[in-house]
Structures are given as C-alpha cells and as structure tokens.
Amino acid sequence: MIRSTGVLLLLVLALSIAAGTCGSRDPLRASTIQLGRSLNPDNTVSGHTTRFKPDDTIYASVLTTGSGSATIAARWTYAGRVVSEPRKEVQYRGDAATEFHLENNAGFPPGDYSVEILVNGKPVGTRTFRVEK
C-alpha cells in the first residue's frame, strides 16, 4: 500500500511539473516603440512619424509580448533634460500596447527630443524625434 501511494505521489508530482512547464508563457517584454500624432482604439499609434509641430500631442506606444506584470515608464527628454517621466503599472496576458503622451499647451520649442522606454527600471529602447515650426 505504501509503495503504490508513493508511486501515485510521484506520478502526480511529475504531471504537475509537466503541466507547469507546458503551460508557461514568455515573460512580458517590449518589442516595439511607436511614435505618432494619434492613437488607434487598441493604443497603437496611428500615422507614425518622427516630425512634429509645436502644438501637436506626441504619442508613444510600447508594444509588448508575453504575459505578466511590469512597470513601464517613458522618459521624455529635450536638450539633455528630462521633461516628463510617467510610469504605468500593467498586467497583460499576451500582446498589448501601452500608451504615453507628451503635450504642452504653450507649444514645444523646436529641436531634437527623445523618449526612452524602461520596463521594470531597465531601458529597452529609445526613439528620437524632432519638433519643427
């Protein structure tokens, strides 16, 4: 009786390990950074561009794959200074898009800008763009 119980326990343990590894998903990771003037309903960018006008709202969309929780941040810079650094706590199951935007009611000064994306505090990519009159 003890022997069959031990075999049964080993079988249950083996099946639970196999189910855990077969059902596991890739961890959440950034795959693409998009820039543009507007968003689609799914938070992806509509009309990709890296050239903006001073009165535009600038959208960045971070496309992710995998599943899990993360803190995604967008570090917006101009002339070497951080002008905004919003963060979002996300939890996704599969492909998703996280939206960030930058706006200035007084208008952006012309020049070169960048947005750096961080996932859980680690840089995953940067996109540069320009504001022109």
Amino acid at 99: E
Q: What confidence category does residue 3 fall into, taking pLDDT thresholds of 50, 70 and 90?
A: low
Using one digit for the tens of pLDDT, what is the confidence trace for 8-32? 444 444 444 333 434 445 789 999 9
Within 13 A of 30's CA, how many CA atoms are on the CB side? 25
Cα 61–73–27 angle (5° rounding)?
80
The per-residue pLDDT for 16 is 40
58-65 β-sheet, strand order: 45-48, 29-39, 58-65, 96-102
Q: What is the mean pLDDT of residues 60-68?
A: 97
Using one digit for the tens of pLDDT, what is the confidence trace for 96-117? 999 999 999 999 999 999 999 9
Mean pLDDT for all residues in the chain: 87
The per-residue pLDDT for 25 is 56
Query: Does the domain spanning 26-131 belong to CATH 2.60.40.1930?
Result: yes
Question: How much is the pTM?
Answer: 0.79
The per-residue pLDDT for 91 is 96
Domain locations in the chain? 26-131
Q: What is the mean pLDDT of residues 37-49?
A: 96
